[in-house]
């Protein structure tokens, strides 16, 4: 199954978004250079405290590169063809958590995946789904409380599978969550840029993202079609 991207230029309101993408493209090279310089400094550094600071700089620059990569990728959605296939939801959550663990550890944070006996298959594009879940992870790292882990949860309801990331961080009041934009931001003083990009990636998989408000935090989720194929062994 394939899904062709729809043009983001069909709506004039996206002019500002394309301006942001142009800026992201220009920022990619200097951000990559900062990462490379930090890597070289770390190789020569012997002080433990300075090495920890350089680790944070390296991982933060990688996070910035991830965002610029996502932004520039949205510019190519119009002509892209995306293969949709059965994807193991638990496995991809574990892959994303594993990739984000060094960044979380550098910030004295923890990210985990709630265990399941069996994992549902979802109809998705593996690369786009990874990018969506990485965006959730970046959002939770920035806003979540430092003394509690953020947790990937997977729930199946009828023919849909919800992959969510739960954190304990600031939330919007109920009255502020009526507009579509607040579904994509969900945080006080947040631009919601990473989640806006995630929403466009989700649309390419015939899916949507959203959030659930808890008393002590938020869950950001993507809901996907469940695959009827047997779970791969």
Q: pLDDT digit string (tens) for 216-229?
A: 888 999 999 999 76
Q: Of 180, 179, 225, nearest to 202 (Cα)?
A: 225
Structural domain contains residue 40: yes
Task: Tell me whether residue 199 is in a domain.
Answer: yes
- Is the pLDDT at 5 greater than 50? The verdict is no
* Kind of pairing between the strands at 217-225 and 160-167: antiparallel
149 and 171 assigned to the same domain: yes
Q: Which residues contact 167 (CB under 8 A, 6 or more apart)?
A: 140, 143, 144, 145, 148, 150, 151, 217, 218, 219
pLDDT digits (tens, 9 = 90+) for 80-124: 567 889 999 999 999 999 989 988 888 888 999 999 888 889 999
Whether residue 99 sits in one domain with residue 55: no
Report yes or no on 230 lying in a domain: no
Can you give the pLDDT at residue 103?
83
The verdict on 107 and 39 lying in the same domain is: no
Q: Which of 27, 51, 74 is the last residue of a domain?
A: 74
For all residues of the chain together, what is the average pLDDT? Answer: 77
Q: Residues 30-49: what's their mean pLDDT? A: 79
Helix (H, G, I), strand (E, B) or coil at 202: helix
Which CATH number is 197's domain given?
Answer: 3.30.565.10
Query: Which of the listed residues 18, 47, 74 is the one where a domain comes to its end?
Result: 74
Does 31 lie in the same domain as 117?
no
Q: Which residue, among 147, 95, 84, has the nearest Cα to 119 in the 3D structure?
A: 95
Strand 85-88 relative to strand 2-4, pairing: unpaired
User: What total number of domains does the chain contain?
Assistant: 2
Do residues 62 and 176 both lie within one domain? no
pTM: predicted TM-score of the whole model, two decimal places = 0.69
Is residue 232 a part of any domain in this protein? no
Structure tokens belonging to residue 36: 């490379």
Q: What percent of the chain has pLDDT over 70?
A: 70
């Amino acid at each position: 199954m394939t899904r062709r991207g729809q043009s983001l230029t069909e709506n004039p309101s996206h002019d500002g978004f394309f301006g942001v993408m142009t800026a992201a493209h220009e920022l990619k090279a200097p951000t990559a250079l900062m990462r490379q310089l930090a890597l070289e400094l770390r190789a020569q550094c012997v002080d433990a405290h300075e090495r920890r600071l350089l680790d944070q700089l390296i991982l933060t620059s990688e996070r910035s590169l991830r965002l610029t990569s996502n932004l520039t990728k949205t510019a190519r959605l119009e002509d892209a063809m995306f293969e949709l296939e059965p994807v193991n939801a638990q496995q991809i959550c574990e892959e994303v958590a594993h990739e984000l663990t060094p960044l979380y550890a550098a910030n004295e944070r923890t990210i985990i995946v709630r265990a399941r006996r069996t994992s549902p298959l979802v109809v998705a594009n593996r690369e786009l789904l990874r990018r969506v879940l990485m965006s959730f992870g970046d959002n939770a790292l920035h806003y979540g409380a430092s003394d509690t882990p953020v947790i990937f949860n997977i729930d199946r309801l009828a023919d849909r599978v919800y992959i969510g990331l739960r954190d304990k961080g600031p939330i919007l009041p109920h009255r502020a969550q009526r507009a579509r934009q607040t579904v994509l931001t969900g945080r006080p003083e947040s631009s919601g840029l990473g989640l806006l990009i995630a929403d466009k990636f989700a649309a390419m998989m015939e899916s949507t993202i959203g959030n659930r408000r808890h008393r002590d935090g938020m869950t950001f989720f993507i809901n996907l079609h469940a695959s009827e194929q047997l779970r791969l062994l």
